[in-house]
Structure 1
Amino acid sequence: MTKTSENRNEYHAVSLSGGKDSTALLLLMLEKGMPIDCVLYADTTMEFPEMEAHIAKLDNLLCQKRGIHITTLRHPHGFEWLMFDEPKVKQSCLERRAKLGVPPYGNGWPGAKVRWCTGQLKTHLIQKEVNRLKKEKNALHYIGIAADEAHRCKDDPQNCYPLVEWKITEAQALQICYSRGFDWGGLYEIYHRASCWCCPLQRIDELRKLRTYHPELWTRLRDLDNRARAMFGPGPLGQFKKDWSVERLEERFAREGAQTT
């Protein structure tokens, strides 16, 4: 399950999320001279600017070392279209929405039970391409899961988990990236995870930091939430977080700031 391959007659595909673990994997594979035929990255278009710069820096290194570029996969319409405009087609869904007075299009805010964003903007895109490469090229798929998250590994003979094999933890993966000059512009010094800035599953403290360190993104988040509440109402689709709209969080954070001055 955690094997790596030195067989250069096989096709070698590396998944890159852009985070510390997959970045450490790519850097170490380059350093160890391991074969790499493609690096797959799913761009949600809702990444931090620092993450975009990080991917560009990795792409430059990959091109210098191996003469190839990162293969970037994108949904044909993107996050906002999925959130507000994707037409619903299932009759049961249409009937339910009609009863609730909810428009027959758009997915609204993602939630813990319905994470359509991760599925449609990341997982499905990567998995579809990986499945194609496995079928057409007998590809080995290299995945950046750290040793302390080995339970996430899947028992597939075409999957490789080198960080698990090398016993590299998440903390060690981050230090490997830092030591090679990859620091995400300080994102990991501010946030627990460098995922999409608009994620409603973030902890409130992360959102507080977003308002402080990325005010332009916070403004965009408020606009998205105002649009969602106007379109979907107070139900789950229009609710950013349970009991919290972005506007209410803004009021809370402002009060907290006033109390500390």
Structure 2
Amino acid sequence: MKYIASCSFGKDSIATILLALRYGEPLDEAVYCEVMFDSHISGEVPEHRDFIYGTAIPALERMGVKIRILRGLQTYVGLFTGRITRGPKKGLLRSFPICGRCAVQRDCKLKPILRYQRSLPPDTVQYIGIARDEQERLLRLDGRRVSLLDKYGYTEQDAKQLCREAGLLSPVYDFTDRGGCWFCPNARRRELRHLYDHHPDLWARMLELQALPGKVTEKFNRTTTFSEIDAGFRREDEQLSLWKNAA
């Protein structure tokens, strides 16, 4: 049998690996799939990517954990600029992914993972980072997908503390409590504000995509265009500047 840990390098997946090492659970490798914005730019929030490659992978490898990195053939930009080939919207750019039916999740993450899983023995056990207090998600696990967090009684907060004590807590938890690509349509306002404030180069790339003509949708998420989000942040900055000057 082979034992692998699915790893996003968030608190739950790293805590799972740490528990496997602590309690002598079999572990052949940790598998990470990196979604790419384009052929050169990662889809990971830059602070998280720096943590993955600069801190987490070297530390886990020193502990004897083999890390396998997967990437799909497709990228966010490739999907965005692809054209619909049939139907009433034929010829339009596919543009922003649909919330709840994300083509990026499907083509850039799930496909390479499933392709790799097909190469594994059929009795492979997969460790999934689901905490004791995520009961609905735990109920969806089957016999070959196991939660070590649940087995050893770790909640999400316990997992975060375990990572913090090991020096392996991603800096993204300073401004969000979830993982995800920096261009995710489900990104919360504070995540988008962080991108706007700290990564103007990536923000500009999204505005460039927003400006492309002939898209099937102009909406970045269910309700708002990326340009509207940008305008809202600019208004906030202007109001803050006026307030500071008045004070």
**Same fold per TM (> 0.5)?**
yes
TM-score (norm 2): 0.84
**Counterparts in 2 of 1:58-97, with a 5 A limit?**
58-66=56-64, 69-85=66-82, 94-97=86-89
Q: Is the contact made by 2:6 and 2:128 (CA closer than 8 Å) also made in structure 1?
A: yes
1:4 corresponds in structure 2 to: none
Are residue 176 (structure 1) and residue 178 (structure 2) matched? no
Please give the secondary structure, in 1, of the residue aligned with 2:113: helix
Q: Deviations over 1:184-237 (max 9, x none)?
A: 2x211112323111112212333123212332322222223223xx231xx53x
Partner of 1:119: 106
5+ residue gaps in structure 1? 1-9
Secondary structure of 1:148's aligned partner: coil
Matches within 5 A, 1:1-261: 10-45=1-36, 46-56=43-53, 57-66=55-64, 69-85=66-82, 94-98=86-90, 102-103=91-92, 107-135=94-122, 138-153=123-138, 154-184=140-170, 186-227=171-212, 230-232=213-215, 235-236=216-217, 238-261=218-241
> In structure 2, what residue type is equivalent to 1:61?
A
| Alpha-carbon distance in 2 for matches of 1:158, 1:134 | 11
Count of matched residue positions in the alignment of Structure 1 and Structure 2: 233
How much has 1:177 moved relative to structure 2? 1.0
- 4+ residue runs over 3 A deviation: none
Conserved 8 A contact 1:111-1:201: no
**Which has the larger share of helix?**
1
What SS does structure 2 have at the residue aligned with 1:13?
strand
Given residue 147 of structure 1, which amino acid in structure 2 is its aligned partner?
A: R
Distance 1:77 1:242 in 2: 24
Q: Distance in 2 between matches of 1:50 and 1:180?
A: 18
> 1:152 Cα deviation (Å)?
1.4
The Cα shift of 1:65 comes to 2.1
TM-score in terms of structure 1 length: 0.80
